[in-house]
């Protein structure tokens, strides 16, 4: 089974650790994205992280990605 990762600003992502998600609290979303472990299958992004990542999330080998409302 793959890993769920939540990536974005600390205030918006830290609570997801309580459900077992891997939390990447960062202001440098592109660097955190490049450092994702290979077993990550789903990434939940904050809107700011999604904006910073741009088309990186559309790469053919990228994990499934969703953006918080």
Ramachandran angles phi, psi of 65, nearest 5°: -135, 135
Q: What tens-digit pLDDT sequence spans the chain (69 residues)?
A: 789 999 999 999 999 999 999 999 999 999 999 999 999 999 999 999 999 999 999 999 999 999 999
| Nearest-angstrom CA–CA distance, 62 and 19 | 23
Ramachandran angles phi, psi of 45, nearest 5°: -110, 145
| Nearest-angstrom CA–CA distance, 32 and 27 | 9
Out of 3.40.50.620, 3.40.50.11540, 3.40.50.300, 3.40.50.10580, select the CATH number for domain 3-67: 3.40.50.10580
DSSP state of 60: T
This prediction's pTM: 0.92
DSSP state of 27: S
């Amino acid at each position: 089974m793959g890993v769920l990762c939540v990536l974005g600003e600390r205030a918006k992502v830290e609570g997801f650790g309580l459900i077992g998600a891997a939390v990447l609290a960062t202001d440098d979303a592109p660097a955190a994205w490049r450092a994702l472990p290979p077993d990550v299958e789903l990434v939940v992004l904050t809107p700011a992280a999604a904006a910073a990542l741009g088309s990186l999330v559309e790469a053919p080998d990228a994990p499934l990605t969703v953006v918080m409302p």
